[in-house]
Amino acid sequence: MRIEYFQLIDRILDLNMDEKTISVEAQVPKESTIFEGHFPGYPIMPGVLLIEAMAQTAGWLLLALMNFERMPFLAAVKEAKMRGFVTPGEVLTVEANLVHEGSGYAITDAKIKVAGKLRCNSTIMLTHVPFPNPDLRRHMDAMAERIGFPKQALLP
């Protein structure tokens, strides 16, 4: 996890195109300037970043389901629940599944677990559009490579 670059996902653990689910891993850094302020002497991962991790996970699922032809963007976060603190160094398993595929948008459910225990969950809506420019597409391809996206799972 590179918080300062908003790269919250380390690697993809599983992508199931039939079930429309994804599971990824993300380790919270042991040190970050964020923890100096959140909070002094009691560092915990900000809830908004946990929500972002769930949104990015849902985004990777949509990228896969749309064959990397469209780019998803966060549109709405519903019923986000922070069920327990996440602390520096912890390894997160982030899961997302597709709930509904609309026209130009999708609804997903996402959750974060630590050692099998649920820490937070939310329903996340994303809109998606054709890639606005080749630079962004190249960036996402590079990110996919970095996190071990299984390109073989995509349609030919």
Partner 1 sequence: MSSTFDQVATIIAETCDIPRDTITPDSHAIDDLGIDSLDFLDIAFAIDKAFGIKLPLEKWTQEVNDGKATTEQYFVLKNLCARIDELVAAKGAGAT
Q: Can residue 100 be called a binding residue for partner 1 (CB under 8 A)?
A: yes
Contact 128, 104 (CB under 8 A): yes
Q: Can residue 127 be called a binding residue for partner 1 (CB under 8 A)?
A: yes
Which residues are within 8 A (CB) of 91 and not within 5 positions of it... i.e. 6 or more apart? 25, 26, 27, 28, 114
DSSP strand E in the chain: where?
Answer: 11-16, 21-27, 70-82, 91-101, 105-114, 117-130
Q: Can residue 101 be called a binding residue for partner 1 (CB under 8 A)?
A: yes
Choice between 118 and 129, CB closer to partner 1: 129
100 catalytic, yes or no? no
Contact 77, 122 (CB under 8 A): yes
As measured in angstroms, the least distance from the Cβ of 125 to partner 1 is 7
Choice between 100 and 117, CB closer to partner 1: 100
As measured in angstroms, the least distance from the Cβ of 114 to partner 1 is 30
Verify cis geometry, omega within 30 degrees of 0, for the bond prior to 39: yes
Q: How far apart are CA 90 and CA 23, in angstroms?
A: 16
The residue among 145, 108, 126 whose CA lies nearest residue 12 is 145
Choice between 37 and 104, CB closer to partner 1: 104
As measured in angstroms, the least distance from the Cβ of 105 to partner 1 is 5
Q: Can residue 131 be called a binding residue for partner 1 (CB under 8 A)?
A: no
- Pattern of binders to partner 1 over 64-83, x per CB under 8 A? -----------xx-------
Which residues lie near partner 1 (CB under 8 A)?
75-76, 100-105, 107, 125, 127
